[in-house]
Amino acid sequence: MRCRLLRGDLVNRVVHLDAPQWRGPDLQELVSKVALGEQDAFGQLYDAVAGRVLGLVRRVLRDPAQSEEVAQEVLLEVWRTASRYQPERGEVMSWVLTIAHRRAVDRVRSAQAASDREQRVASQAYAPAFDEVAEQVEGRLEREQVRRCLKTLTELQNESVTLAYYRGFSYREVADMLNVPLGTIKTRMRDGLIRLRDCLGVGS
Amino acid sequence: MTIAADLHTFTGAYALHALDAAQSEAFERHLLQCEACAVEVEEFRTTMARLGSAEAVVVPPEMKARTLAATSTIRQLAPLTSDSDRDGGSRSKSARRWPRFALAASIAATAALGGIAIEQHQAARQATIRADQLHSEQARLSALLTAPDTRTATGRTGAGVGTIVWSQSRGEVGFLAQGLPALASGKTYQLWFNDAGTMRPAGLLPSSSGSLVLTGQIHSAVGVGLTVEPAGGSQHPSGQPVLLLPLR
Ligand SMILES: [Zn+2]
Strand order in the sheet with B243-246: B198-205, B187-195, B223-230, B243-246
Q: How far is the CA of B36 from the centre of ligand 1 (A)?
A: 6
User: What does the pLDDT read at residue A112?
Assistant: 57
More confident of the two residues B35 and A141? B35
CATH number for the domain running over A24-124 = 1.10.1740.10
A20-46 pLDDT tens trace: 445 567 999 999 999 999 999 999 999
The proportion of chain B whose per-residue pLDDT surpasses 70, expressed as a percent, equals 67
Would the CATH topology of A24-124 be identical to that of A127-204?
A: no
User: What does the pLDDT read at residue A157?
Assistant: 97
Fold of A127-204: Arc Repressor Mutant, subunit A (1.10.10)
Work out the minimum CA distance from B6 to partner chain A, whole angstroms. 10
- Spatial contact of B163 and B154, defined as CB atoms under 8 Å apart: yes
Q: Cβ of B122 under 8 Å from any chain A Cβ?
A: yes
Does the structure show a pLDDT above 70 at B119?
Answer: no
More confident of the two residues B160 and B141? B160
- Best of A79, A124, A167, A191 to substitute, by most chain B Cβ atoms within 10 angstroms, is A79
User: What does the pLDDT read at residue B136?
Assistant: 56
A50-107 pLDDT tens trace: 999 999 999 999 888 889 999 999 999 999 999 999 998 899 999 999 999 999 999 9
Phi-psi region of B66 (alpha: psi -120 to 50; beta: other; left: phi over 0): alpha
More confident of the two residues B188 and B113? B188
User: What does the pLDDT read at residue A99?
Assistant: 98
Does the structure show a pLDDT above 80 at A124?
Answer: no
User: What does the pLDDT read at residue B142?
Assistant: 60
Phi-psi region of B177 (alpha: psi -120 to 50; beta: other; left: phi over 0): beta
Q: Where are the domains of chain A?
A: 24-124, 127-204
User: What does the pLDDT read at residue B161?
Assistant: 72
A-chain CB neighbours of B54 within 8 Å are 136, 139, 142-143, 145-146
User: What does the pLDDT read at residue B145?
Assistant: 60
- Best of B28, B46, B55 to substitute, by most chain A Cβ atoms within 10 angstroms, is B55
A193 and B16 within 8 Å at the Cβ level: the answer is yes
Most trustworthy range by pLDDT among B102-106, B190-194, B211-215: B190-194
User: What does the pLDDT read at residue A201?
Assistant: 93
**Residues sharing a CB contact under 8 Å with residue A149, sequence separation 6 or more, in sequence order:** A17, A195, A196, A199, A200
B18 and A76 within 8 Å at the Cβ level: the answer is no
A178-199 pLDDT tens trace: 999 999 999 999 999 999 999 9
More confident of the two residues B168 and A103? A103
How many angstroms separate the Cα of A46 from the Cα of each of A54, A92, A95, B56?
Answer: 11, 12, 14, 13
- Spatial contact of A195 and A157, defined as CB atoms under 8 Å apart: yes
A-chain CB neighbours of B110 within 8 Å are 123, 126-127
- Spatial contact of A66 and A110, defined as CB atoms under 8 Å apart: no
More confident of the two residues B95 and B10? B10
Annotate A61-111 with three-state secondary structure.
Answer: HCCHHHHHHHHHHHHHHHHHHHHHCCHHHCCHHHHHHHHHHHHHHHHHHHH
User: What does the pLDDT read at residue B15?
Assistant: 98
SS3 A194: helix
Superfamily for domain range B1-74: Anti-sigma factor, zinc-finger domain (1.10.10.1320)
Does the structure show a pLDDT above 60 at B63?
Answer: yes
Instruction: Among A51, A170, A185, select the one facing B58 at the smallest CB separation.
Output: A51
B94-114 pLDDT tens trace: 322 222 333 344 444 444 443
- The H or E element containing residue A144 is helix A140-150
- Spatial contact of A156 and A188, defined as CB atoms under 8 Å apart: yes
When pLDDT is averaged across residues A150-176 and rounded to a whole number, the result is 95
B127-154 pLDDT tens trace: 444 434 344 555 566 666 656 676 767 7
How many angstroms separate the Cα of A109 from the Cα of each of A65, A106, A165, B11, B180?
Answer: 17, 5, 13, 21, 28
User: CATH 1.10.10.1320 region(s) of chain B?
Assistant: 1-74
More confident of the two residues A109 and A79? A79
Q: How far apart are CA B19 and CA B15, in angstroms?
A: 9
When pLDDT is averaged across residues B70-93 and rounded to a whole number, the result is 62
ipTM of this model?
Answer: 0.81
Q: How far apart are CA B61 and CA A152, in angstroms?
A: 37
SS3 A58: helix
User: What does the pLDDT read at residue B212?
Assistant: 77
Average of per-residue pLDDT values in chain B: 75
User: What does the pLDDT read at residue A159?
Assistant: 95
